[in-house]
Amino acid sequence: MNFSITLKIWRQKSEFDTGRFVSYNLDHVSPDMSFLEMLDTLNVQLEEKGKETVAFDHDCREGICGACSLYINGEPHGPDRGTTTCQLHMRRFKEGDVIYIEPWRAKPFKVVKDLVVDRSSFDRIIQAGGYISVNTGNARDANAIPIGKTKSDLAFDAAACIGCGACVAACKNASAMLFVSAKVTQLSILPQGHPERYDRVSKMVSVMDQEGFGNCTNEGECEAACPKEIKKENISRLNREFIVSKVKSAFSS
């Protein structure tokens, strides 16, 4: 049965605007709607009234691209674990609910407009070292290097990261260490990524710091909020790789 809700949405004209919450009442919300479809409905209504629509990020709406964000009632990607906002459905809410919707809040994630934030800082971290430089051949060569089951599973789990930024949003320190650790793990434990592993971790952490992300205080909020359930043990691995990288570089010079 359809129901009515109250939305408290963060509206901000641009990076330079201070921003504020604006309240909207939305009727006839179907429990079968996805959360983003509910926002689409609101936007249609706003457009009909000649008002500015709410800007929010979205792309595939299949939970795999990492474009959608939204901090819903104090939780990145809303109340469901292991899913993105686009996979959240209105059946998780009920008549009369008040839903707060905020953008990811972190210094490196500047608000572009309303709920849209600039996540290009993640791209710059990847550009610093999230790649391999060796030629790995064509698709048929993928199985030419045997890799143990444990390592391939670890690398695959880390590679599931879609770079949405929920880890940063959830962390009380706005730390990007879960994201960086997933990328470092994915590349460093496989033979193809092995030769550059210490250089990579050093460069990626350096850019992460320059971008202004906070530091991990080992509270595991990132892992709980991650739609791809990236494990916090990766952060331990990131720390280990970084320490070894710096010790090696101290002795090699």
- Could you give the C-alpha distances from 93 to 24, 39, 90, 176, in angstroms and in order? 16, 14, 5, 30
Query: Which of 70, 170, 190, 230 touches other proteins (CB under 8 A)?
Result: 170
Residues 190-229, mask of contacts with other proteins (x by CB under 8 A) = ---------------xx-xx--xxxxxxxxxxxxxx----
* Per-residue H/E/C for 236-250: HHHHHHHHHHHHHHH
Least distance (Å) between residue 248 CB and other proteins: 12
**C-alpha dist (Å) from residue 215 to 119, 198, 209, 251:** 18, 20, 9, 26
- Residue 4 Cβ, how far from other proteins at the closest point, in Å? 20
C-alpha 233/C-alpha 150 separation (Å) is 14
DSSP output for 42-64? HHHHHHHTTPPPPP---S-SSS-
Nearer to other proteins, 77 or 89 (CB): 77
214 burial level (CB within 10 Å; 0-12, 13-18, 19+): middle
C-alpha–C-alpha distance, residues 87 and 91, integer Å: 11
User: What is the DSSP code (8-state) at residue 191?
Assistant: G
Nearest distance, CB of residue 140 and other proteins, angstroms: 35
Choosing from 174, 189, 190, 230, the residue that interacts with other proteins (CB under 8 A) is 174
Angle CA 1–60–118, to nearest 5:
110
CB of 60 to other proteins, least distance (A): 24
∠ CA 127-234-75, nearest 5°, is 90
Instruction: Verify binding: residue 70, other proteins, rule CB under 8 A.
Output: no
Residue list 96-155, contact with other proteins (CB under 8 A) = 100, 102, 105-108
> Nearer to other proteins by C-beta: 74 or 195?
74
Which residue from 85, 175, 186, 188 is in contact with other proteins, where contact means CB under 8 A? 175
Among 3, 8, 55, 83, binds other proteins (CB under 8 A): 8
Min. distance of Cβ 170 from other proteins in angstroms? 6
Site residues, other proteins (CB under 8 A): 8, 19, 21, 71, 73-75, 100, 102, 105-108, 170, 172-175, 177, 205-206, 208-209, 212-225, 231-233, 235-243, 246, 249-250, 253
